[in-house]
Chain A
Amino acid sequence: MNPFVFAVRGLRRQPGRTILGIAGIAATGALLFDMLMLSRGLVVSMEQLLSGVGFDIRVSATHATPLTGPPITNMAETVAALAAIPEIENVVPLRLGGAVVDIGKRSYDVTFMGADVTNRRPWTLVEGRDLTIDRRSTMDPPSRDGASARQAHGLAAILVNRNMAQRLNLRAGSSLTLRGACTTNSSVPPVTFHVNGIVEFPFDQARQLTAITSLKDVARTCGDTAQNEADMLMVASRQGDSPTAAVEAIRRARPDLSAVTNEELVARFQQVEFSYFRQISVVLATITLFFGLLLITVLLSVSTNQRLGEIAALRALGFSQKRMVSDVLWRSALLVGAGGLVALPLGLALSIWLDRLLQTMPGIPANLRFFVLEPRALIIYVALLAVTMAVAAVYPMWTVARLPISATLRSEVIG
């Protein structure tokens, strides 16, 4: 009988304690697995969200996090200058404002954005028609498409997100009246829009009401003269050119602007905004690992101490020292392995629950995940469990290796 089968039989002989041991390891392992998913979850999720938008570079006026700093002035010239760079395929200026919409007797804040898009859009159309305006609408008379849309309905076109469509019972073709609230002391007249369609924004919060129209109509709604300003430029590098090359080209062309790739933005978030969850996951993973190691060691040590007589008898029957030591190691491997396997579905279920819990935090995009399953987390998890299994077995193996056969048997008989 090989040591593996021998260890399996030994564990099956005491099903109660084996099942409890596996259950304990499973619970600890699930927590460890979750902490490993949490450690990079936000970063991976943010990477996925950013890359899903279709633009790989963000340009803003300062080094502040995009959409938190001052606007880019002379937007039209800046867009033209960037669009002329060979490494760049598309530039979309974006302005972030605010508006208020009345639902029943209450007023609700709306995230009101303006963008002059061409062939790429940082949103996904769910229903209806997309905005068909180009950047000329900001400075020049409306383009043919934009003009026709406006003439057909007599209203400016707007896109709304699902939350807003549901709350206001909007669909493509509906009218929507917004009051601009882009600055304090704002008291501009309300503007009525024609809802072109319903879209999904990747960074919307769970209950956020969002609407997007052209830059010109944002300026009109906000009642300001800042028509030639944008809070951020979303840039898509040309296929075949790396975003890093495009960023370097932007820095050469316009050193006064701050351009960052998605990777740089994620790295910045990792260093600053997301660091709390990374730190807490490291601390909790360390504590969980230490806790698990301690408990498995105690479990194996007590179990081995109870079997000292049996081990001495087996040694006396001719079982080698190596064979008995490997039996302890196999037992540890079986307990940790079985517990670790059970921990995977348990950890995934637990992560869904914890993710939903953390999602209720304000300011978190609904599509952002705190716990993300990635091969890296799985590999680290398996490696940590393997180390735990080996380290936990060290003391019991040492006890078995140094066991005095005759003295143990004698004490068993006399005791």
Chain B
Amino acid sequence: MGDRRSVAPARSLLMVHNSKVRRTRVLTLALTLAAFAPVAWFSIPNASAQTEQLPTILISRQLATADRLRVGDTVALSSKPDGTDPRQFRIAGIYEPVADPMRLAATRHEARLHLPDLLSLTADPSDPLSTESVRAINVALKDPRDAVSFARDVSAKIPIPQLTARPAQGGEETATVFVVLDRFHFAIAMVTVAASTVFLLALMLMLVDERRETVGILRLIGLRKSRILLQVFAEGLLIAAAGAAFGILFAAALQGAVNAFFQWRYDTVLVFVRITPRIALRCVLLAVPLGVLASVISSWTLLRSNVLELARR
């Protein structure tokens, strides 16, 4: 197999013609062949052997579904937009394309050819180098951690103009896209947290207001402000922790539905939402202190009030 970009050209470049033999057609063909068997014996000495000798390709699941292709079917590929000069290939297998977020919206109608087949199919007669050119060479290292230093060494030791060596993981552009998307989602999360905090503060003010008399009585029977504040703090901590835990569980339950929707929408196996322990920890670290802070701030005004005013009906 060759370079992925080279062997997975757009459908518009490689016109795929379905020559699948349907069952009814098989019967017709069998009868026709039986009638002309003697002629066929000489003119097509070993048709099945020829089919076996056809070069093989793999096609993507999406292409197989769209064009109702199956393993063993014969297809014709052409590098010309009008489908001229096609070549026959036999489908040896159907594969699930590697999920690529950069090609999320693209319809993955792809075929993978053996490199010599692709080069001969796409060769430019006016360019002798076209049968010797590839866009990329994939290298698997024994230790993938050496990718960066290996790429550096290749660039230094093979001084061919326009030759670029870079680690396959985390291309510069891909990384930038996801860094930007990450920042965008983080910004949205921050706005949501700000809105929640304000609402929480408003709610806590109301709840504390309901407890004016209780706090007044506690102060009258001798409890100190710090003791009541500690109680408010503990309550806030419990409520915030319970809220954060519920939020994480809710998100974990919802992630399946979100993933299922987007996977269906984009026909991909990409995972869109994943609640990792790190994300859960970030949520707890944000939510719990904010909840506690809202409890303490809202109670603070109450504790500063005169005890008789609090207990007064």
Q: Is the CB of A69 within 8 A of B12?
A: yes
B133, chain A: closest CB distance, angstroms: 6
Q: Is the CB of B82 within 8 A of A256?
A: yes
Identify the stretch in B30-38, B48-56, B60-68, B172-180 within 8 Å (CB) of chain A at 4 or more residues: B172-180
Category for how many chain B residues contact A: 35 or more
Query: With A23-B198, A24-B199, A299-B203 given, is the CB distance from A275 to B187 under 8 Å?
Result: no
Residues of chain A lying within 8 A (CB to CB) of residue B135: 184
Identify the stretch in A135-143, A159-167, A213-221, A359-367 within 8 Å (CB) of chain B at 4 or more residues: A359-367
Q: Is the CB of B176 within 8 A of A362?
A: yes
Q: Is the CB of B191 within 8 A of A31?
A: yes
Majority secondary structure of chain B interface residues (helix, strand, loop or mixed): helix
Q: Is the CB of A276 within 8 A of B203?
A: no
Q: Is the CB of A361 within 8 A of B177?
A: yes
The total of Cβ contacts below 8 Å across the A-B interface reads 107
Q: Which of A27, A354, A362 contacts B198 (CB 8 A)?
A: A27
Residues of chain A lying within 8 A (CB to CB) of residue B210: 306
> CA separation between A298 and B173, bound complex, in Å?
45
Residues of chain B lying within 8 A (CB to CB) of residue A24: 195-196, 198-199, 202
Residues of chain A lying within 8 A (CB to CB) of residue B262: 279
Q: Is the CB of B205 within 8 A of A354?
A: no
B262, chain A: closest CB distance, angstroms: 7
Residues of chain B lying within 8 A (CB to CB) of residue A291: 192, 195-196
Query: With A27-B191, A279-B265, A354-B187 given, is the CB distance from A21 to B202 under 8 Å?
Result: yes
Q: Which of B173, B183, B195, B209 contacts A357 (CB 8 A)?
A: B183
Q: Is the CB of B205 within 8 A of A17?
A: yes
Residues of chain B lying within 8 A (CB to CB) of residue A174: none
Q: Is the CB of A302 within 8 A of B207?
A: yes
**Does A152 belong to the interface (CB within 8 Å)?**
no
Residues of chain B lying within 8 A (CB to CB) of residue A284: 188
Residues of chain B lying within 8 A (CB to CB) of residue A20: 198-199, 201-202, 205
Residues of chain A lying within 8 A (CB to CB) of residue B187: 353-354, 357
Residues of chain B lying within 8 A (CB to CB) of residue A28: 195, 199
Nearest residue, chain A, Cβ from B206: A302
Q: Is the CB of A276 within 8 A of B198?
A: no
B202, chain A: closest CB distance, angstroms: 4
**Does B230 belong to the interface (CB within 8 Å)?**
no
A173, chain B: closest CB distance, angstroms: 32
Residues of chain A lying within 8 A (CB to CB) of residue B176: 360-362
**Does A16 belong to the interface (CB within 8 Å)?**
yes
Q: Is the CB of A272 within 8 A of B10?
A: no
**Does B105 belong to the interface (CB within 8 Å)?**
yes
Q: Is the CB of B105 within 8 A of A276?
A: yes
Residues of chain B lying within 8 A (CB to CB) of residue A61: 81
Complex interface residues of chain B between 200 and 257 (CB less than 8 A to chain A)? 201-203, 205-207, 209-210
Complex interface residues of chain B between 161 and 179 (CB less than 8 A to chain A)? 161-162, 173, 176-177
Residues of chain A lying within 8 A (CB to CB) of residue B107: 272
Q: Is the CB of B105 within 8 A of A272?
A: yes
**Does A249 belong to the interface (CB within 8 Å)?**
no
Q: Is the CB of A64 within 8 A of B206?
A: no
Binary per-residue interface labels of chain A (321-360) against chain B in the complex, 1 for a CB within 8 Å, 0 otherwise? 0000000000000000000000000000010011001101
> CA separation between A275 and B207, bound complex, in Å?
43
B244, chain A: closest CB distance, angstroms: 15
**Does B129 belong to the interface (CB within 8 Å)?**
yes
> CA separation between A240 and B297, bound complex, in Å?
67
Q: Is the CB of A16 within 8 A of B13?
A: no
Q: Is the CB of B188 within 8 A of A70?
A: no
A257, chain B: closest CB distance, angstroms: 10
> CA separation between A381 and B280, bound complex, in Å?
32
Nearest residue, chain B, Cβ from A63: B12
Nearest residue, chain A, Cβ from B183: A357
**Does B99 belong to the interface (CB within 8 Å)?**
no
> CA separation between A266 and B199, bound complex, in Å?
40
Interface centre among A181, A353, A357 (most CB of B within 10 A): A357
Nearest residue, chain B, Cβ from A303: B206
Q: Is the CB of A185 within 8 A of B265?
A: no
> CA separation between A181 and B199, bound complex, in Å?
58
Residues of chain A lying within 8 A (CB to CB) of residue B201: 20
17 additional A-B pairs beyond A276-B105, A299-B199, A358-B184, beta carbons within 8 Å, are A17-B202, A17-B206, A21-B199, A24-B199, A24-B202, A27-B194, A30-B191, A64-B10, A69-B10, A181-B162, A187-B161, A225-B126, A256-B82, A275-B265, A299-B203, A357-B187, A362-B176
Q: Which residues on B are within 8 Å of A, measured CB to CB?
A: 10, 12-13, 81-82, 104-107, 126, 129, 133, 135, 161-162, 173, 176-177, 180-181, 183-184, 187-188, 191-192, 194-196, 198-199, 201-203, 205-207, 209-210, 258, 262, 265-266
| CB-defined A-B contacts under 8 Å, sample of 14 | A20-B201, A21-B199, A21-B202, A31-B192, A225-B126, A272-B105, A275-B105, A298-B203, A299-B206, A306-B210, A354-B184, A354-B188, A361-B181, A362-B176
